[in-house]
């Protein structure tokens, strides 16, 4: 078996951390032939919860788990890391404005990016899960001097999976029959879940929907009035129904994001927020969700899809939000 892969998980004592750790250690992320070494980063208040999770990891006696270390020191946590999942973030509190939230999270993701630059392995790949995920990834990348920016990404796989879940349910299809859905833009309510290139069992998805709903006009009405808002606001729906934000589905999406990036996408593209090089007119350097593929060497944007005027307008609105987030962080002197 190859040398163990070192994986750093920040916020490991939190809800998503608890849902992630055991699946990673069981081999769900990197496969049954790669052993893992886990580095759990917490703030002092979260240390006991992370230490408890580490005790339980030991009690699982996972054959692939080489070692677990719990720390509140970012330099220790990222030392030699091959993969980092940045989950720990500052949630929005009462009376907090968006700028306050961006500033609080810049204070977390900036220093973590710098620690990654100081100590991570040369093949490090990082995914930001903590919100606002796209801009947190941008901040971490900007602070990681010497690490190529394209090693940083943010999670929109959850939105991608949510879109597939809604479509499969509406069509009475298996989720794995639905291919080539795309999430464009920000991991926020402005995102654009797009089915214009999607298929179900090889049939254009719009045709299948038109058949189910009684015509193309009805299909478009369902997409505009139900599907897009439902997917874009699913995070809020989960908070409303559960009483707290998504956990198992977020952890599952993070595992699938890393797995596909590291092992390669199969059967079409997926969605991830990655650094723009100007694709589709998105300003260079923004961390924006696109359809992406990977051959195991990192995500590459599928850059040749036709987008009609309505799609461009929806995508443009979400990109404008990302630009505003970037500018707010810049104006605070944090970028």
Binding site, by residue number, is 11-17, 92, 98, 105, 112, 129-131, 162
Q: Going residue by residue from 202 to 241, which x/- string records binding to ligand LMR, judged by CB under 6 A?
A: ---------------------------------xx-x---
Q: Does 15 bind ligand LMR (CB under 6 A)?
A: no
Looking only at residues 146 through 165 of this chain, which bind ligand NAD when binding is defined by CB under 6 A?
Answer: 155, 158
Query: How many Cβ atoms from other residues are within 10 Å of residue 97's Cβ?
Result: 10
Torsion, Cα 85 86 87 90, to 10 degrees, reads 180
Of residues 146-205, which lie at the interface with ligand LMR (CB under 6 A)?
A: 158
Residue nearest to ligand NAD (CB): 14
Whole-angstrom CA distances from 141 to 16, 287, 292 are 22, 10, 19
Site string for ligand NAD, 44-83 (x = CB under 6 A): -xx-------------------------------------
- Residue 78 and residue 126 in contact, taking contact as beta carbons nearer than 8 Å: no
Among residue numbers 241 through 260, which ones bind ligand NAD (CB under 6 A)? 245-247, 250
Question: What is the smallest separation between the CB atom of 111 and ligand NAD, expressed in angstroms?
Answer: 8
160, 187, 197, 257: which is the annotated catalytic residue?
Answer: 187
Query: 260-299 mask for ligand NAD (x: CB under 6 A)?
Result: ----------------------------------------
**Binding flag, residue 185, ligand NAD (CB under 6 A):** no
Annotated active-site residue 187? The verdict is yes
Q: Which residues are catalytic?
A: 187
The footprint of ligand LMR (CB under 6 A) covers 131, 158, 235-236, 238, 245-246, 250
The footprint of ligand NAD (CB under 6 A) covers 10-11, 13-17, 41-43, 45-46, 87-89, 91, 108, 129-131, 133, 155, 158, 187, 245-247, 250
């Amino acid at each position: 078996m190859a040398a163990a892969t070192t994986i750093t998980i920040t916020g490991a004592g939190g809800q998503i951390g608890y849902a992630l750790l055991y699946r990673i250690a069981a081999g769900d992320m990197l496969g049954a032939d790669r052993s893992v070494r886990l580095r759990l980063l917490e703030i002092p208040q979260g240390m006991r919860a992370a230490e408890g999770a580490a005790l339980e990891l030991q009690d699982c006696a996972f054959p692939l788990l080489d070692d677990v270390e719990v720390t509140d020191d970012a330099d220790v946590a990222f030392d030699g890391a091959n993969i980092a999942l940045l989950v720990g973030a500052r949630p929005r509190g009462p009376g907090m404005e968006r700028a306050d939230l961006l500033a609080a999270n810049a204070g977390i993701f900036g220093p973590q990016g710098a620690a990654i630059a100081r100590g991570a392995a040369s093949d490090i790949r990082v995914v930001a899960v903590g919100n606002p995920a796209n801009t947190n990834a941008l901040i971490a990348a900007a602070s990681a001097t010497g690490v190529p920016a394209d090693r940083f990404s943010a999670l929109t796989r959850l939105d991608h999976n949510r879109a597939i879940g809604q479509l499969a349910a509406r069509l009475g299809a298996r989720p794995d029959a639905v291919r080539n859905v795309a999430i464009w833009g920000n991991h926020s309510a402005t995102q654009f879940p797009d089915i214009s290139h999607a298929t179900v069992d090889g049939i254009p998805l719009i045709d299948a929907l038109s058949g189910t709903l009684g015509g193309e006009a009805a299909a478009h009405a369902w997409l505009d009035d139900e599907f897009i808002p439902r997917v874009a606001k699913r995070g809020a729906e989960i908070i409303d129904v559960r009483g707290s934000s998504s956990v198992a589905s977020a952890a599952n999406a993070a595992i699938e994001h890393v797995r596909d990036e590291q092992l390669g996408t199969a059967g079409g593209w997926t969605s991830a927020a990655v650094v723009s090089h100007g694709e589709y007119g998105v300003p260079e350097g923004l961390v924006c969700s696109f359809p992406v593929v990977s051959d195991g060497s990192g995500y590459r944007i599928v850059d040749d899809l036709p987008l009609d005027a309505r799609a461009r307008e929806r995508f443009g609105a979400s990109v404008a939000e990302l630009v505003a987030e970037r500018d707010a962080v810049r104006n605070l002197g944090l970028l």
